[in-house]
């Protein structure tokens, strides 16, 4: 089954087709509900984080998120001291 990922650019719909398994689509759907994202947004988030992880194999997930937040001038708050 084909699942679609869509992106709006300057009020025009540009659609790319990404073929993923039904099982992975179900995981994206379930996770998107928990994370309160659309299915497309959740898939895009996973793809973006995965791409950064491949390009920077020594970074942890937390480091990737921290860098992305800093790049958008978002201050992260640590709830637990390590």
Range of the domain at 9: 3-71
Residue 40 lies in a domain: yes
In this prediction, residue 52 carries a pLDDT of 97
CA–CA distances in Å: residue 29 to residues 1, 32, 40:
15, 5, 9
pTM listed for this prediction? 0.72
Residue 16 lies in a domain: yes
In this prediction, residue 59 carries a pLDDT of 98
Residue 78 lies in a domain: no
Residue 43 lies in a domain: yes
* pLDDT tens profile 26-71: 999 999 999 999 999 999 999 999 999 999 999 999 999 999 999 9
Residue 54 lies in a domain: yes
Kindly indicate the confidence band of residue 3, based on its pLDDT and cuts at 50, 70 and 90: low
Which residues neighbour 22 within 8 Å (Cβ) at sequence distance 6 or greater? 1
The mean pLDDT value for 13-27 works out to 86
């Amino acid at each position: 089954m084909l699942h679609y990922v869509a992106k709006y650019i300057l009020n025009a719909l540009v659609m790319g087709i990404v073929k993923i398994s039904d099982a992975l689509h179900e995981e994206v759907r379930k996770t998107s509900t928990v994370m309160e994202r659309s299915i497309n947004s959740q898939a895009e988030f996973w793809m973006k984080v995965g791409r950064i992880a491949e390009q920077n194999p020594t970074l942890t997930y937390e480091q990737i998120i921290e860098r992305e937040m800093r790049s958008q001038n978002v201050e992260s708050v640590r709830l637990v001291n390590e």
